A and B are shown apart, each in its own frame.
Chain A
Amino acid sequence: MNCQKCQVRPATLHFKQVVNGKQTDLHVCEVCAKENGYMTYPEEGFSLHDLLTGLFNLDSSKIDNIHESPFQQVKELKCPTCKMTFSQFKHTGKFGCAQCYHTFSDHLDPIFSRVHSGNTRHLGKIPKRKGGKLHLKKQIADYRKRLNTLIENEAFEEAAVVRDEIKELESKVKEKKDGDEA
Chain B
Amino acid sequence: MTYEQFMDKATSPWMLKNGPDHDIVLSSRIRLARNLADKRFPTVAPSEELEEIMEFFQREYEHTPYHDNETFHFVPMSQLSSIEKRVLIEKHLISPLLTKNKETAASLISTNEQVSIMINEEDHLRIQLYDPGFQLEKSLKKTFEIDDWIEEKVNYAFDESRGYLTSCPTNVGTGMRASVMMHLPALVLTKQINRMIPAINHLGLVVRGIYGEGSEALGNLFQISNQITLGKSEENIIRDLEGVAQQLIEHERLQRGRLLENLGTRLEDRIFRSLGLLTYSRIMNTKEVAGRLSNVRLGVDLGLIKNVPRNVLTELTVLTQPGFLQYHAQKTLTPTERDILRASIIREKLHEVE
Q: Which of A15-23, A26-34, A94-102, A139-147 lines the interface with chain B? A: A94-102
Which of A84, A97, A119, A128 lies in contact with B232, CB distance below 8 A? A119
* Residue A129 interfacial (CB < 8 Å): yes
Kindly list 11 other residue pairs between chains A and B, CB separation below 8 angstroms, not including A118-B231, A121-B162, A125-B233: A82-B41, A101-B165, A117-B204, A120-B230, A121-B231, A122-B159, A122-B174, A122-B231, A123-B173, A124-B234, A127-B158
* B41 x A96 contact (CB < 8 A): yes
B165 contact from A98, A117, A126, Cβ within 8 A: A98
Question: Assuming the A-B contacts A119-B232, A124-B232, A127-B151, are A98 and B161 also in contact, with contact meaning beta carbons closer than 8 angstroms in the complex?
Answer: no
Q: Identify which of residues 48-99 in chain A touch chain B, using a CB-to-CB cut-off of 8 Å.
A: 81-82, 84, 92-98
Give every chain A residue within 8 A of B56 (Cβ-Cβ): none
Q: From residue 160 to 199 of chain B, which have CB atoms closer than 8 A to chain A? A: 160-170, 172-174, 176
Contact pattern, B 130-167, Cβ under 8 Å of A = 1, otherwise 0: 00000000000000100110011001111111111111
- A residues with a Cβ closer than 8 A to B are 81-82, 84, 92-98, 101-102, 108, 111-112, 115-130, 134, 179
Q: Are the C-beta atoms of A123 and B41 separated by less than 8 Å?
A: no
When the two chains form the complex, which single residue of B155, B165, B173, B229 contacts A95, counting CB atoms closer than 8 Å? B165
* Docked-complex contact A82 and B40, CB < 8 angstroms: yes
Taking CB atoms, residues of chain A closer than 8 Å to B161 are 120-122
- Asked if B239 is an interface residue, CB under 8 A from chain A, the answer is no
What are the residues of chain A within 8 A of B35 when measuring CB–CB?
A: 98
Asked if A101 and B162 make an inter-chain contact with CB atoms under 8 angstroms apart, the answer reads yes
A94 contacts B228, C-beta separation under 8 Å: no
Cross-chain contact A97 with B39 (CB below 8 angstroms): yes
Q: Complex: how many Å from CA A123 to CA B233?
A: 5
* A94 close to B158 (CB less than 8 A): no
- A124–B236 Cα distance when bound, in Å, is 9
Checking B148, B156, B233 against A130 with a beta-carbon cut-off of 8 angstroms, the contacting residue is B156
Nearest residue, chain B, Cβ from A83? B44
Q: From B203, which residue of chain A is reached at the shortest CB distance?
A: A117
Band of interface residues on B: 35 or more
Asked if A123 and B158 make an inter-chain contact with CB atoms under 8 angstroms apart, the answer reads no
A102 neighbours in B (Cβ, 8 Å): 159
* A96/B43 in contact, CB under 8 A: yes
Which residues of chain A are within 8 angstroms of B162 by Cβ–Cβ distance? 101, 108, 112, 121-122
Residues of B participating in the A interface, judged by any CB pair closer than 8 Å? 35, 37-41, 43-44, 122, 144, 147-148, 151-152, 155-170, 172-174, 176, 204, 228-234, 236
Given contacts A96-B40, A125-B144, contact A134 B232 (CB under 8 A): no
Alpha-carbon distance A81/B49, docked complex (angstroms): 14
Taken together as a complex, chains A and B put the C-alpha atoms of A94 and B38 apart, in Å, by 17
| 6 tightest Cβ-Cβ pairs between the two chains A and B | A119-B231, A122-B163, A98-B157, A116-B230, A96-B44, A124-B233
**CB-CB < 8 A to A81: which residues of B?**
40
**B148 and A128 form a contact (CB under 8 A):** yes
With both chains docked as a complex, state the minimum distance between the C-beta of A127 and any C-beta of chain B, in angstroms: 5
Given the interface pairs A95-B41, A124-B174, A127-B151, the reply to whether A101 lies near B234 with Cβ below 8 Å is: no
CA distance A95 to B176 in the complex (A): 17
Report which of B44, B155, B169 forms a contact with A82, defined as CB distance below 8 A.
Answer: B44
- Partner among B147, B152, B170, B230 whose Cβ is within 8 Å of the Cβ of A119: B230
Q: How far is the CA of A137 from the CA of B209 in the complex (A)?
A: 47
By a CB distance below 8 angstroms, the chain B residues around A121 are 161-162, 230-231
A134–B174 alpha-carbon span in the complex (Å): 17
B41 x A112 contact (CB < 8 A):
no
- Expressed in whole angstroms, the minimum distance between the Cβ of B24 and any Cβ of chain A is 28
Residues of B within 8 A of A82 (CB): 40-41, 44
Bound-state CA distance A122–B114 (Å) is 28
CA–CA, A82 and B165, complex, Å: 15
In this complex, what residue of A is CB-closest to B234? A124
Q: In whole Å, how far is A109's beta carbon from the nearest beta carbon of chain B? A: 10
* B286 smallest CB distance to A (angstroms): 32
For B160, list chain A residues within 8 Å (CB): 122, 134
Asked whether, in the complex, the Cβ of A116 is within 8 Å of the Cβ of B168, the reply is no
